Amino acid sequence: MGIFDRISDIVKSNLNDMLDKAEDPEKMLKQMVLEMEESVNKATLAIANAIANEKGLERKIQKNNEEAAEWKQRAGQAVQAGRDDLARAALEKKTICERNIADLEPLHAQAAATTAKMREQLAQLKSKLDEARARQSTLIARSQAAKAQKTIAQSFSGVGSDAFSKFDKYEGKIEKLEAEASAFEELAGENTDLEAQFKNLGTDQKIDDELAKLKAEMAGSK
């Protein structure tokens, strides 16, 4: 009954726990179904052998019944012929056949019960296998969807924590450069105004000198 115990272990095992430990749940599911199919095939072969054994015992019982009836008939013929010695020998053969039948019938009954039980177990196992096959496609689809969802979530997680922080960093650098450029422009503008003032100052003095000279000349001409 090791074959049936093997399938029973597969069917009764904690599938969720097995799948959690598996690196590839899809591969694990396919492997489990393959194991169940192989075990069902072995169980089917075992039942075929059990049925063959049952039928063999049945044929032996039938043969001994036929031989017992034949020896009984021969014993009657011997009695009619006045051959009690032959009749006795025929009855001894009949007794041997009946003893064989008595020995074989319990074995046949046990074999028939075992075969019936194995048939019932195999029917249940085939039903479980059909259920596993049906669930396999659904579980694989769920696994693939979960993988896709995980990949997307990881992608968003990476963008949120890393890429955006880099954007913020570079934005800060750009703002700093802009501030420095503005400061240099402001300083450059102050220096230009200062130089212009000094230039204007020299120009105003020259004009004042020329104005004073002109006034002096005009006063002397009078």
Whole-number percent of the chain with pLDDT over 70: 65
**Distance (Å, whole) CA 189 – CA 197:** 13
182 inside domain: no
179 inside domain: no
* 70 compared with 184, residue with greater pLDDT: 70
* 12 compared with 221, residue with greater pLDDT: 221
Query: Looking at 26-30, 108-112, 113-117, which range is the least confident one?
Result: 26-30
- Among 109, 142, 125, smallest CA distance to 46 is for 125
pLDDT of residue 1: 46
57 inside domain: yes
Query: Looking at 47-51, 105-109, 183-187, which range is the least confident one?
Result: 183-187
pLDDT digits (tens, 9 = 90+) for 147-198: 777 777 666 665 545 655 666 676 777 777 777 777 666 665 555 665 666 6
* 23 compared with 111, residue with greater pLDDT: 111
* 58 compared with 222, residue with greater pLDDT: 58
Instruction: Tell me if 64 sits within 8 A of 98, measured CB to CB.
Output: yes
79 inside domain: yes
pLDDT of residue 100: 95
**Distance (Å, whole) CA 118 – CA 97:** 31
Question: What's 159's DSSP letter?
Answer: I
**Does pLDDT of 108 surpass 80?**
yes
State mean pLDDT over 55-79.
Answer: 95
**Does pLDDT of 64 surpass 90?**
yes
Question: How many domains are contained in the chain?
Answer: 1
Task: Give the residue numbers spanning the domain of 138.
Answer: 2-165
203 inside domain: no
For 22, list phi and psi in degrees, rounded to 5: -80, 140
User: What is the number of other CB atoms lying within 10 angstroms of the CB of residue 205?
Assistant: 10
Q: What mean pLDDT is reported for the chain?
A: 77
191 inside domain: no
State mean pLDDT over 208-212.
Answer: 68
100 inside domain: yes
Q: Is the pTM of this model over 0.85?
A: no
Structure token digits, residue 51: 């049925």
124 inside domain: yes
